[in-house]
Every structure is written in C-alpha cells, then in structure tokens.
Amino acid sequence: MIHDYVCKDIDGKDINFADYKGKYILIVNVASRCGFTRQYKSLQTLYENHKDKLEIFAFPCNQFGNQEPEDNENIKEFVKRFDVDFHMMSKVEVNGENADSIFNYIRSEFGNQSIRWNFEKFLFSPEGSFLKRHLSIIDPLTIENDI
C-alpha cells in the first residue's frame, strides 16, 4: 500500500504517506524542461479544486531526455512560476536499479513495466490501493473523473 512509504520532500523533510489515509493520493514524476511541464498549471488547478480529498506529490526526475538537470533548490524556484502549493518532493530516479522504493512499488502495481516519460500520473484510493495510471499525454484535470 502507498501508506507504507516515507519519502523526502524537496526540502529534505520526511513525508509519511500514512498521514494521508482517507485522501486520494496522486503521484507524478515531473521535469522542468519537458513539453508537458505546462501540466504543473493543471495539477495546481486539480489540487485547488479537490484539496479536501486529494493530495498531490510531484517527484522531479532526470531520467527522460535530461529534462530535469537542476538540483532541488533550483527546481523549487522554477515551480514558483506555477504557484504550486502541492507537495514537491526530492529529485529521484523512477526506473532502474537506483529507482526510489516508492516507484519500485508503483511499477509493481502495473506489472513492473517501466515508467515511460515525464508527467506520468499514478492515482491511489483513500484506503491506499492503486487505482489508475495516467500517461503523460493525459491532462491532470481529467483525473477529476476518477476521484
């Protein structure tokens, strides 16, 4: 279950996903130099519309086209232009032997397939079970239909 994981936020603080039991959890791997970076705006709108029942956790990753080469401090500055107030997490790897444990778990929920690109979105139920994978091309606002 997603509630079994603890990850670092962009400031290095531990985030315990068990603290979010009772809410939908949306995990997104993000990058600041990607064609899908504009989705930060949709993610923020989704969060504002549903923060009573939804938490969003964005994990920067540089594994796709070197589109997130910056460090956590620069990423934090970059996302200010989108007025992001959902959870920004520490930069991680999502595939391969150095993948963060939460992404190993996420991939295990859909047959250990690799995450394909930046801005893939993974939705979990308020009880912590995996619900749905949304590919990069899917606008985050369409997730409203799933919560």
pLDDT of residue 76: 93
* Phi/psi at 33 (5° precision): -115, 30
Sheet holding 54-60, edge to edge: 87-88, 54-60, 24-30, 121-124, 130-134
Residue 10 structure tokens? 């962009």
Tens of pLDDT along 11-46?
Answer: 999 999 999 999 999 999 999 999 989 999 999 999
For the cut 90, the answer to whether the pLDDT of residue 133 exceeds it is: yes
- C-alpha separations of 49 from 44, 84, 115, 128 in Å: 9, 13, 27, 21
Name the residues annotated as catalytic: 34
pLDDT at 69 (0 to 100): 93
Over residues 112-129, the pLDDT tens digits come to: 889 999 999 999 999 999
- Residue 19 DSSP SS3: helix
Average pLDDT over residues 62-84: 94
Chain mean pLDDT for the chain: 95
**Looking at residue 111, what is its pLDDT?**
84
Tell me the pLDDT band of 91, cut-offs 50, 70 and 90.
very high
The CATH homologous superfamily to which domain 2-146 belongs is Glutaredoxin (3.40.30.10)
Position 58 scores a pLDDT of 98
Please tell me the distance from the alpha carbon of residue 65 to that of residue 54, in angstroms, as a whole number. 30
Q: So what's the pLDDT on residue 143?
A: 93
Pairing of strands 54-60, 130-134: unpaired
Residue 112: per-residue pLDDT: 83
pTM above 0.85, yes or no: yes
Average pLDDT, integer, range 2-13: 97
Domain locations along the chain: 2-146
